Amino acid sequence: KQEVTQIPAALSVPEGENLVLNCSFTDSAIYNLQWFRQDPGKGLTSLLLIQSSQREQTSGRLNASLDKSSGRSTLYIAASQPGDSATYLCADFSGGYNKLIFGAGTRLAVHP
Amino acid sequence: DTGVSQNPRHKITKRGQNVTFRCDPISEHNRLYWYRQTLGQGPEFLTYFQNEAQLEKSRLLSDRFSAERPKGSFSTLEIQRTEQGDSAMYLCASSGVGSYNLYFGPGTRLLVL
């Protein structure tokens, strides 16, 4: 059974820092990996999707990479801003093509 | 594209009452998912529809829970005889044919007193 761990659980950084969020999987047979952002009390917003044949995806200041051999993914946020403050969740479709297995998330606070 | 919508956004009920939530997916999406999220945790899969067919149900979905998608468009999730442990955010998501990109709604936050 796939289990997803996100480290750190919480992170507080000053504005402008580059930062890395980590996601690891117990089963390295990762199918498709998706990173989401969740603002307090709100639903999830998809940030990046890395399909099984890909190793990374980029969108603006965000870059997500996937290393299947080690069962790890990282989300890199460049030049962080206060508006980046949110919970970041990673999830994998290894639970079957019809369901995502989520980590518990990393709560990010970027202060001015 | 107006996104995935869910109603109500908040629901407070007393233990033992029945509640029903509605999800309207993105119009051209044939797949619809329900997830449940408790405080400090990631969402957990509940059930999945492809068009009107319910193809998978989690063991988390006890017999007090039922979901429908009668015409392959909107979906409802009903919880009968609610318990305090049912308090959570209920999230709906949809995706299109051949796509693994899920679009989530804003969720319905349920509080059972």
3-state SS string for chain A: CCCEEEECCEEEEECCCCEEEEEEECCCCCCCEEEEEECCCCCEEEEEEECCCCCEEEECCEEEEEECCCCEEEEEECCCCHHHCEEEEEEEHHHCCCCCEECCCEEEEEEC
pLDDT value of position A15: 97
Task: Measure B99 CA to nearest chain A CA, in Å.
Answer: 10
C-alpha span between A50 and B66 (Å, rounded): 33
pLDDT value of position B29: 92
Give A107's contacts (C-beta < 8 A, 6+ positions apart): A9, A10, A11, A86, A87
- Model confidence at B100, pLDDT cuts 50, 70, 90, reads confident
Question: Which structure tokens are listed for B50?
Answer: 């492809």
What is the percent of chain B where pLDDT is above 70? 99
pLDDT reading at B75 higher than 60: yes
Residue A112, preceding bond cis, omega within 30 degrees? Answer: no
Residue A82, preceding bond cis, omega within 30 degrees? Answer: no
C-alpha span between B102 and A101 (Å, rounded): 13
A46–B50: do the CB atoms touch at under 8 Å? no
**CB atoms inside a 10 Å sphere around CB A47:** 20
Contact by Cβ (8 Å): B6, B110:
no
What integer is the mean pLDDT of A6-14? 94
What integer is the mean pLDDT of A26-55? 87
pLDDT value of position A69: 86
- Number of A:B CB contacts under 8 A? 60
- Model confidence at B34, pLDDT cuts 50, 70, 90, reads very high
C-alpha span between A27 and A96 (Å, rounded): 13
B104–A36: do the CB atoms touch at under 8 Å? yes
pLDDT value of position B6: 97
pLDDT reading at B92 higher than 70: yes
pLDDT reading at B54 higher than 60: yes
Backbone dihedral angles phi then psi of residue A47, each to the nearest 5 degrees: -105, -55
Task: Measure A14 CA to nearest chain B CA, in Å.
Answer: 23
| Residue B11 contacts A, CB cutoff 8 Å | no
Over residues A45-103, the pLDDT tens digits come to 999 998 878 899 999 999 999 988 888 999 999 999 999 999 999 998 876 667 889 99
| Residue B2 contacts A, CB cutoff 8 Å | no
Q: What is the dihedral of CA B48, B49, B50, B51, to 10 degrees?
A: -160
C-alpha span between B15 and B65 (Å, rounded): 15
pLDDT reading at B1 higher than 60: no
- Model confidence at B50, pLDDT cuts 50, 70, 90, reads very high
- Which range has highest mean pLDDT (A23-32, A77-86, B96-105)? A77-86
What integer is the mean pLDDT of A4-8? 92
Question: Which structure tokens are listed for B16?
Answer: 């033992």
pLDDT reading at B40 higher than 80: yes
Give the sign of the dihedral formed by CA A44, CA A45, CA A48, CA A51: positive
C-alpha span between B97 and B78 (Å, rounded): 26
pLDDT value of position A41: 83
Question: Which structure tokens are listed for A36?
Answer: 């989401």
